[in-house]
A and B are shown apart, each in its own frame.
Chain A
Amino acid sequence: MTAKATAPTPAPSHRGDAEWLSMRERGTVLGIRAAYWLAIAVGRSAMRPLVALVAMWYALFDRKVVRASRAWLLRVHGRPAGFWQVYRHLRTFAQVTLDKVYLLTDHTRALRFTRTGHELLAAQFASGQGAILLGAHLGSYEAMRAGGETTDLPIEILGYFANSRMINSLLARLSPRAAAKVIHLGDDPIGVMTRVQDSLAAGRFIATMGDRTGLTDRIVRAPFFGQEASFPAGPFLLASVLRCPVYLVLGLYRAPDCYDLHCERFAERIELPRQDRAARLQQWVRRYAERVEHHARSAPDNWFNFFDFWAAPPAAPPSPPPP
């Protein structure tokens, strides 16, 4: 929220979620930079009124975000959400966005963490082989790396970042100790993929989101909260081609100051034999959707996909002319 507020120009409108994606990403860069000094200087609890104010501003004035929040809360709770419910949802987003600053800079004394399944990551790291960390826009991905024995996990974040160089330098400044890097999928798709392969072979972790379809991603439809939604096939295809384990990782925020860090083994190997690839792929995506739904039910205010997640899939890309 704070982040978005500092990104005044609207993103070019190609598609709803694409627009949101670039807007949010740009916001992240500007917002983190702006909020950084203030947030660190005054501390987390002193920022509370500001977080509340930002959330209130959005609850009152940003119709698009409010509409998305209402639609989500209606779907989860089965009844229309009141103003304060929407406010609480937006405040959660504002707080988690702010907390990224503390998480990335290791100013985590004001935060508590509970951990489930962390030993899986530690063991994987010790094995020397990398893995794919599958996340979702549910709670705080950044929290995963906070505190404890996994602070130094070498993680590279794979996604569509229009400003990856800027984010990289920002990350390097914010958390010089940690090796988090972002890999932009758009630059050199072939090189990116071999880089991912090299990283996994070197024992690093590749973090990616399973709930945001990119611009040209292959899409798989799977039921989510009772209705089909679009999920990217990319992470699952990648895991199958590179034969690496996949973990589901989520950091769910529990007000006022706790993050429940979940890590579960999603797949030791994702096998997608050519003959029934589509069906197998769909099984994995369904499973992912089920797990995310499970966690989302336990923390509905952590859902940060503020757009119509169940929108019909975009028209199929113009099919290539027959060779």
Chain B
Amino acid sequence: MSQTDATLEDQLKRLIVDTLALEDVAPESIDTNAPLFGEGLGLDSIDALEIALAIHARFGVRTVANDEKNREYYHSIKSLADFVRARQGEAQASAAPA
């Protein structure tokens, strides 16, 4: 990822707002630690799917089915950023053997 001027958290906020076209939500107004689903932004599973697809397209990180931790990963911007960082780290570790 070349965009280092924005934190991953900020990028995710922007990505969610853009993906879901949340017109009346400013990315910076999203609380990094607030729940994304149900309460909080009130997103649902179709939204989650769109976010998962967008995250895959943008960061190359796939959300796998039957991962019991999905709910944790998608809890908040914070947990989502941790998830993306962890997966990217794994990918880099396995992609750079030399």
Contacts and interface: CB of A to CB of B under 8 A. Distances in A.
Contact of B41 (A185, A193, A320): A320
Q: Place the interface of chain B in its size category.
A: 20 to 34
Nearest to B68: A188
Q: Place the interface of chain A in its size category.
A: 20 to 34
The A interface is mostly helix, strand or loop, or mixed, namely helix
B63 A323 contact: no
A323 B41 contact: yes
B82 interface: no
Contact of A194 (B30, B42, B63): B63
Contacts of A196: 49
- In the complex, which of the residues B45, B63, B71 has the most CB atoms of chain A within 10 Å of its own CB atom? B45
A12 interface: no
B29 interface: yes
B7 interface: no
B71 A190 contact: yes
The B interface is mostly helix, strand or loop, or mixed, namely loop
Contacts of A195: 65-66
A192 B65 CA distance: 6
A237 interface: yes
Interface string A204-246: 0000000000001010000000000000001001100110000
Contact of B45 (A190, A198, A242, A321): A190
B41 A194 contact: no
Interface of B: 21, 25, 29-31, 34, 38-42, 44-46, 48-50, 52-53, 62-68, 70-71, 73-74
Given A189-B45, A190-B52, A238-B49, 19 more contacts: A188-B65, A188-B67, A190-B70, A190-B71, A190-B73, A190-B74, A191-B66, A191-B70, A193-B46, A193-B48, A193-B49, A193-B52, A194-B52, A194-B65, A196-B49, A237-B46, A238-B46, A274-B21, A320-B42
